[in-house]
Amino acid sequence: MSYSVFLDVDETLINCKTLLDTFRHHLYAVHGASVGEARFAYAMDTLSDAQAAGLSDRASLNQLYYRHFAGIDVASLAATCESWFNSTGIKLLKTRVHDEIIHHQQRNAQIVLVSGSYHACLEPLSRYLKADAVLCTELVSARGVYTGELQGCPAIGEGKARRIADYISQHRLSLRNSFAYGDHQSDVPMLEMADEKVIVDNYDLYSTLKVRWPELVWLDSQQAS
């Protein structure tokens, strides 16, 4: 019987933060290294300033970050995301987590990536993994250009859980025997929905949540399969 597997992406499946690395790669490709780095640093400074002012919620920071995408050409960003994955991203995949995906696929599981990152960034990864769906933060565009606004809330925290619930309902699936893989406290709402919960690499989080979920599994991506 088919079942669903929900995976966070950044630091769970891949050793980086894709929403940052792909944006930086794009800025370098379009503006050159010097100007590109300056623009990326400015975006990071605005996030640091917001955090210093007391903004700590990941979803709000995610929304603030994507404002810097205003004016970016949709097709151009898709192309640079593709080149980033082919040259860099593919090398950053956590092999042991990828092996888990292959194992689930051999058992006819539905593989669903769930991420606060954006679709253009995740599409090459999804295609490489042969994932069945991507649930992510949706960027608004108009006339082929991103506006800097989001469609709905970011896919972080409860936003991940809501997207999973909608996906299950729309596709008439069941959460029975489902798996969820995450690495951060913000993944807890997603983990709560699955029967089988797996923490990747973050042993401190695993130790904390093990009290709540005795069945919780810890996966060390550095350990040989």
**Is 112 contained in some domain?**
yes
Residue 223's pLDDT band, with cuts at 50, 70 and 90, is: confident
Quote the tokens at residue 224: 């040989």
**Is 224 contained in some domain?**
no
Residue 1: its pLDDT value, please? Answer: 64
Domain that holds residue 11: 3-219
Residue 75's pLDDT band, with cuts at 50, 70 and 90, is: very high
pLDDT over 70, % of the chain? 99
Q: How far is CA 59 from CA 48, 108, 156, 172, 187, in A?
A: 15, 33, 6, 28, 12
CB-based burial label for 166 (10 Å; 0-12, 13-18, 19+): exposed
**Is 114 contained in some domain?**
yes
pTM, two decimal places: 0.95
User: At 182, which amino acid appears?
Assistant: G
Q: How many domains does the chain have?
A: 1
**Is 188 contained in some domain?**
yes
**Is 225 contained in some domain?**
no
Nearest-CA neighbor of 169 among 180, 161, 177?
161
Residue 224: its pLDDT value, please? Answer: 72
Report pLDDT digits (tens) over 14-72. 999 999 999 999 999 999 999 999 999 999 999 999 999 999 988 999 999 999 999 99
**CATH code at position 28:** 3.40.50.1000
